[in-house]
Structures are given as structure tokens and as C-alpha cells.
A and B are shown apart, each in its own frame.
Chain A
Amino acid sequence: MKDISRLFIPLAGVIVLLLAGCSDTSENQEEADADAGSTGSDETITLGYYSSGSADEKMEDIISQFEEEHPDITIETQNSPYQQFFQKLDTQIAGGNAPDVWLSDGVFVQKYAERGAAKDLTEWIDNDLETDEYYGLDFNKGPEGKYWAVPQGIQIGALFYNKDMFDKAGVEYPDDSWTWEDLKEAGAELTLDTNGNTAENAEFNAENINQYGLTFFNITEGWMPVLKSYGGGVLDEDLQTSVIDTPENLEAVEYMTDGMERGIFTDPSDLQAFQSPMSPFPSETAAMRIGIYARTLAANETGVNYDVTVLPKGPDGERFSPVIANSWIINEDTSDAKAEAAWEWIKYWVSEDDVQRQWAELGEAVPVKKSVANSDMFLNSGEKPENKQAFLDSFEFADTLDVNAVWSEWVDQMTDNLNKTFLNEVEEEEALESADKDVQQVLDEFYED
């Protein structure tokens, strides 16, 4: 072997061919798949979802049931924990190899829709689904009236309260007559400092609290329901203009800061002391919380004696319940045959009573199909909370969280500004003015192009 270059060149050539070969095979594969689809034979689709422990097994179960009933469709799954799932998904979309159908957090549906990654499902939904039979289809509509996704399960907000704490303080349980002011008054009696004084006591020390009246966090289970029931909000109907700087919002924010200053509500720095901002209620450090349906899981796990009711009214009787419809999205770039197979899966998921029931048993979400959600199986499952009806009643005044393509980014700006006033660093007016400016800048950057 005198001349090494003789070996070197072919070797390099082989490697290059190998690399080129990889991409060739996948293209051929896709062509073959497309051909197969057009002749009506077998179709393999990839399905992506974020996993959440016990739910994975159930998901696999339902998938194999689907495959049994649809022998011409094979489903390959891709799943990872929440954070990684969405990071990976974004890179997969960038690389053109995203799953054919995936489960999206409800607040990300518009992010994919407005950037052209989600397939428009309007026609299929109109043709194949009785829209009245389902909760939440409209929560995935864009401002232009198109459906971009179909709900997989619904998260809707209600007021959780710890019955033992109410009994101990001799306070009556909350009901649908409550306003936010009523909540604060009751909350004051339920807030205890380290010496056992309530927030109504003159010797109460708001710096050293053992038990909060209400725990309060971020947008969905924090400021948004309050802003909206006070008649305020963040974006106008076209979802491209900020309406933050209004007297209604000011009143709502003053209500919240007052509650935090008096120690009745948790402020952002109080929450830092907990392992998770979600833990005060299940760990019985707070008597009430604004919670979506999934929070029943943690509360049931720690065995809190609690129930739920609808969220309180604003000063003018307006009510608002936040809703997040985690949904199935079909990849815009997927072939027609695969998209149709994916649509079969979605239809199977929402319309089959049995599937809906199996999923509801996990207790993660309110079922999408109204008949199942209103059945005994969901409402009287024997698990807490007793008054699950409150979640269903809340649909009457439920809406999304002003979700648009840049939702995460404007929420970040809004939260930063609100936290400053929650922590008493700036006045309420100033925080709203500055939030208005920052949020509008985010919107302009995206929508002005």
C-alpha cells in the first residue's frame, strides 16, 4: 500500500455516497407511501404528543384500539416530556420532518397556524363533526374564522377551596353569588400569620404568613380571569392591538395588589419559596386557588378536602373562566393521504364515546364530547371534587387567553410589568402603561411585516 491517496479517495467517496444515500431512501420511501395512499392501501402516520406519566400508557392503549379498528392505518408515535417535545417539534418543522399529526398545548395552536405549519381543518370539521356535540372547537378558531385544530381535552378554570380551612375559620363556602370582593373578604379571615392572627386582626404581620387566603399565579390561574371579569383584558378582537391601559384593568390590578400587600394573596416572591408555584393549594398553605381542571390531580393526590365552584364575578357582574383546549393539529406539509389518515384518528378520538370515556377516567381534562362530559361517569366518578358541574357551567362564560402567534412573548412582557407592581416596585398605572407599550411592540414586530 504505497499510495495512500488511492485508498483515501474511494473511502471519502463511499462516505459521501452513504450520506447521500440516506436522504435518497427517505425520499423514495415517501413517494412509495404517497403511491400506496392513492391506491387506498396501507398508510403509516406519525403521531407526536407530550407525555405525562400515567397518560402515556392510556394513549398507547387507545392507539392500538384504533389500529385494530382501522387495519389500513398504522400509527408510529413520538413522545417526549413537555418542554423537550415543543423544542423538538419546532426543529422538526424547520427540518421538514415533523409528525403528521401532533398534540399541541392550546396556547400554541395559533403559533403554528399563523406561521403556516398547521393544516386548515375547517372543511373537514364542517363535513364530519356535529360542532354542537363538542366543547371547545371554537377555541381554536383564528380571528379569520378558520378551524386549525380539534381539542384533545379541555382545561377550564374554576375556584378551588379547601373545605377544612373554611370550616375551621367558620367561613361559608364560596358559591356562584361571590364577587372578587367577597373572595377577598373571606380570604382575609382565612389568612393566618405565624402567630395565628388573621389578616383582619390589628396585630397581623403580613411579612410572616403561614396560610394564604388565595394562591395566585401567572396568567391563566392568576391575573387574566381577574382582568377579564373586571371588563378589561389584554388584546382587542383582532388580537393585534393591546388594550392594556384601561380604567377597568387598573381597577382589577389595584384589587390584586391590595390583596397581595395585605398578605391575603400570594405575590410572585411568596411563590418562590415553594418547590413549584402550583404547590400552595395541594400542600394546604392556601385556602383557595384559581385552578384549571388538571389541578384536581395534585389536590386528589395529597388528599386535600376540597371542592370547586365557578370563579367570582367582577364589579359589574361579568364573569370569566380561562380555557385552554389542548388540541390535535395536522401538519400542513403532510401528504393528502396521510392527512386523511390523521383525520381518521382525530375523528376516532373525539367522536367515539368509549375513547372519550377512557381518557376522562385519567382525570386530566374535561372530555371534549359533551355527552360524555355530562354523563355520570365524569360528573359523579366518586373522585373529588364533588361539584365537577362547575367546570361545565363555566363554559358559558369561558374564553381563551387572547392567544395569538406571539402569545408566549407578549405574556412574558405583561408578566414582567405586572410583577413589578405586584412586588410594589412601581405604581399600578405605571405598570399598565409600560406593559401596554411593551406588548404592542411585540405585536407590531410580528404583525407589521
Chain B
Amino acid sequence: MILVNTETVKTQRKTKKKKGPVLNHEGKWGLLMVTPYLLQFIIFIFFTLLASLYFSFSSYDMLNPPEWIGLENYNKLIQDPVFWQSLKNTIYFTVLFVPTQTILALILAVALNQSLKGLKLFRIAHFIPVISSWTVVLYVADAIFNPRFGLANDLLVKIGLQPQQWLNDEQQVIPVLVAVAVWKGVGYMMVIYLAGLQNVPEDLYESAEIEGAGVLKKFRHVTVPLISGTTFLVLVLSTITTFQAFEQIYVMTGNGGDITSAGGPDNASMVLMLYLFQQGFSFLKMGYASAIAWVLFLILFVITMIQVKLQKKWVHYEK
């Protein structure tokens, strides 16, 4: 899909150069058609982005007009230990989450891409967590990881191990959150993979079989390279979602829906989006929150750029 888009853009550019006038008849119609969207984009996205950039250089409590303070917010950010901890936690979350979810999604997709009895049922079962709200997922997760009444501790005790504190433990909180996030998110990525798998031509498998390839070899040398475009998409999407993770951590670690207590214990699960929200909306430091948002944007931008650059090395698009 990505390839098709870039190709069209390229052809368009070429025709543009040849034709001379800035916009031809079709181009003008096109522009007319996108005008409502463009206006909406300019008013509600572009200007708000500019405004948040301006706020990041000012002291702004929302209730009074912003005051320009130059780089002060960014200076403060560099010296703020909670910001660094949130960044570290966010990266840790991403490093655990993205590969786990991607690999599991691929395995599930391959497993559910065969002709099986009750295939749809299995696919739906894996997709249900995706459409459940985080509040619902919280109750399911609590039934398992509650330190007093949870199933996980019941099981540990039954096999003679020590019960754990799970979300209350600084070391365990992020792995537990990742486990729940994977459970909730894997179905979506599985669907994307299923679409990718359906595009792999049958005849390639047939020729591989003729060459004597077994199941694993076919997977390794036919499936994996041919769906590398999908893998790339899945990686980029999951990275962005984890960097923007908020709701899950807010509902799972905030004691009784209290935003200021979320991110615990002792900031062990404080991630950038949560910190941003807390600073901006609970403490009315919108300028500082905007600075965090822009740093988050820059980090995401750089990571996505690296992913795009690296894709040439391993992503294979079918011509």
C-alpha cells in the first residue's frame, strides 16, 4: 500500500513538470474537493500545533494569557528527574511491547490463516480485547493480577511460590502493563498480518515445495520476506501507540481514577503522555506540558525516520 502511494505521487510529480501550469483542470477540481478538509486541517490542527509550539516557550496556566519565557521550559525539562524517568519508562515499555506484540501477532495470523473448523470464532476471540474499553480490560486484569484476590497469585501459591505484588511492585509494574497491553492489542495487528498473508501468492509456496522446502523453510524464506511490508507497518504503528500510551496506565495505576496517583508506585510506571497530562491538566502548567509534547514529537519523529531508513535493508515490496 505504501509503495502504491509513493508511486502515484512520483507519477504526479513527473506529469506536473511536463505540463507546465501549476494546476491543471483535474488538479483544480481535486483542490476544490479537499478544501473542506484543508480548512479543517489548517484551523483545527495546524494552528493548534503552532499554538502548542508557542506555549512550549511560555508560562501558561490556561486561566491567564501565556507569557513568553524563552527556553525556560526546556531547561527545566532537562533538569527534571521525573521527565527522564518517564522517558526511560516509555522506552522500556516500547522495547518490551513492540517485539512481543509483533511476533505474537504474526504467529497468531499464520495459525489463523489455515482452513480450520471454527476459524472465524478464533479470529473473533482474539479481536474482542481490541474493541473492549480499557476500563473493562482493567477489571479482567485485576481479576488476574490483584495481589490479594488475583488468579496469578493463587496459582503461584498453589505451586509453592511466593505471591507477588504485580502492579504495586516497581520492578513488575511495566512488564505486567505490557502483558495486558499485548493481550489487548495483538488482535488488531493480527488482522493487519492476515491481510498481508492473503497477498502472498500461493504459487510461490508451490514452487518452494517443489524445491523441497519444509514448513519452517517456507515460513522463513517465503512468508517472512513477502510480508515484510506489513511487518514494517506493524512496527511503526506499535511504536507510535506505545509512545502515546496513556489511558491504560491511567486506569490501571491510578488509584480510584485519581490522575495524580497514576504512574506509581513511585513513578515506576510514569510515562511521557501521563506526565504531560498531569502537568498540563492537573497542575495547569500548559507551557511545560507543551514542551514535553514537542520533545515527545521529536523523539517519535527521529525513531520513525530511523525505521523508514532501515526499511530499505529488510523490507521487500513486491513489484
Q: A residues near B, CB below 8 A?
A: 4-5, 7-8, 11-12, 15, 19, 83, 87, 90-91, 93-94, 111-112, 115-117, 218, 268-269, 271-273, 275-278, 406, 408-409, 411-412, 415-416, 419-420, 423, 425, 449
Contacts and interface: CB of A to CB of B under 8 A. Distances in A.
A11 B32 contact: yes
Contact of B256 (A15, A269, A277, A412): A277
B281 A11 contact: no
Contacts of B61: 115
22 contacts: A5-B28, A7-B32, A8-B28, A83-B259, A115-B284, A116-B63, A268-B255, A268-B265, A269-B265, A273-B146, A276-B256, A277-B256, A406-B283, A409-B283, A411-B260, A412-B260, A412-B282, A415-B260, A415-B261, A419-B265, A419-B266, A425-B266
Interface in B38-67: 39, 43, 59, 61-64
B266 A273 contact: no
A83 to B, nearest CB: 7
Given A8-B35, A420-B266, A273 B283 contact: no
A273 B28 contact: no
Contact of A19 (B43, B59, B267): B43
A423 B83 CA distance: 23
A278 B266 contact: no
A449 B72 CA distance: 14
Given A4-B29, A8-B35, A12-B35, 11 more contacts: A5-B28, A83-B259, A90-B63, A91-B62, A93-B63, A218-B258, A268-B255, A272-B167, A272-B168, A409-B283, A420-B266
B63 A408 contact: no
Interface in B125-182: 142, 146-149, 165, 167-168
A117 B256 contact: no
A273 B149 contact: yes
Interface in B9-41: 25, 28-29, 31-32, 35-36, 39
Contacts of A4: 25, 28-29, 32
B99 interface: no
Nearest to B256: A276
Contacts of B201: none
Contacts of A112: 63
Interface of B: 25, 28-29, 31-32, 35-36, 39, 43, 59, 61-64, 142, 146-149, 165, 167-168, 255-261, 264-267, 278, 281-284
B265 A423 contact: yes
Secondary structure of the B side of the interface?
helix
Contacts of A11: 32, 35
B277 to A, nearest CB: 10
Contacts of A83: 257, 259
Nearest to A446: B61
B63 A15 contact: no
Secondary structure of the A side of the interface?
helix
Nearest to B255: A277
A8 B165 CA distance: 63
Nearest to B67: A449
Contacts of A412: 260, 278, 282-283
A441 B94 CA distance: 32
Max chain B C-beta neighbours (<10 A), residue from A112, A276, A409, A420 = A409
Contacts of B259: 83
Contacts of A111: 284
A321 B36 CA distance: 58
A276 B260 CA distance: 15
Nearest to B279: A409
Nearest to B60: A94
B282 A408 contact: yes
B32 A273 contact: no
A83 B64 CA distance: 21
A411 B43 CA distance: 38
Contacts of B29: 4
A272 B147 contact: yes
Contacts of A8: 28, 31-32, 35
Contact of A90 (B39, B62, B148, B260): B62
A7 B29 CA distance: 10
A269 B62 contact: no
Contacts of A416: 266-267
Nearest to B26: A4
Nearest to B43: A19
A409 B284 CA distance: 9
Contacts of B260: 408, 411-412, 415
Nearest to B65: A94
Nearest to B62: A94
A4 B146 CA distance: 64
Nearest to A15: B39
B287 to A, nearest CB: 12
B302 to A, nearest CB: 30
A115 B31 contact: no
A351 to B, nearest CB: 30
A281 to B, nearest CB: 14
A93 B31 contact: no
A8 B305 CA distance: 36
Closest 8 CB pairs of A and B: A273-B148, A4-B28, A94-B62, A115-B63, A276-B256, A269-B168, A412-B260, A409-B283
